[in-house]
Structure 1
């Protein structure tokens, strides 16, 4: 007899609150998650352990279309950063945008690395470009992410 345990979990991100229903199958050790649209996702115990501690992987897991994360390393003032954000405007529907202020104490590592190079951009945690937006490179990498 398969025993299923149900519970509700919530994942809070900066742009939304996900209400999820979590079921655990005792016999096979799998987690089954239902999102708001009742779409079921199966996760192994190991993969659930990694996703439960962060809202972003949960948000990506349950988004209809998984979008890459574009991170801008910036500070205030930064005229080149302002210019870069304007150039990025037409692409904003194709990525999740995140800004990291390198002058904040918790971002000292990024400050030490990029203090002379902002704006710096990462796509899904990997360096993409710095100083100015290269729209050709951005377009190429976003297209590659879509086919992944």
Structure 2
């Protein structure tokens, strides 16, 4: 499964979320597609106040303060 991880530089919440995603890769087959929102005005407008944002199959599944356990459950549900 490919997930998209919207992030920006110098973002402690983003760093923490990325670490959680890397840990979950050991349990769930994930490809992490990392996108800096500052590549696009549209992304800044859409996600500027929400980042980090994790999407899968076009759906936002978590944003802001990422919770590892609920994210794991959500990813396992999507991956079925």
Q: Output aligned runs, 1:21-40, within 5 Å.
A: none
RMSD: 1.5
**TM-score of the aligned structures, taking structure 2 as reference length:** 0.82
**TM-score of the aligned structures, taking structure 1 as reference length:** 0.48
Unaligned runs of 5+ in 1: 1-67
TM-superposed deviation, 1:91 = 0.9
Figure out how many residues of one structure are paired with residues of the other and give that number.
78
> Which of the numbers 30, 33, 37 marks the counterpart of 1:98?
33
More helix by share: 2
Correspondence for 1:51: none
> Which of the numbers 6, 10, 13 marks the counterpart of 1:80?
13
More strand by share: 1
TM-superposed deviation, 1:142 = 1.8
Q: Deviations over 1:20-77 (max 9, x none)?
A: xxxxxxxxxxxxxxxxxxxxxxxxxxxxxxxxxxxxxxxxxxxxxxxx2221111112
Q: Output aligned runs, 1:131-142, within 5 Å.
A: 131-142=64-75
Greater RCO structure (CA 8 Å; 6+ sep): 2
Unaligned runs of 5+ in 2: none
> Which of the numbers 110, 114, 120 marks the counterpart of 2:53?
120
Moved over 3 A (4+): none
Q: Aligned partners of 2:50, 2:60: CA distance in 1, in Å?
A: 12
Find the structure with the greater CA-based Rg.
1
SS in 2 for 1:103: helix
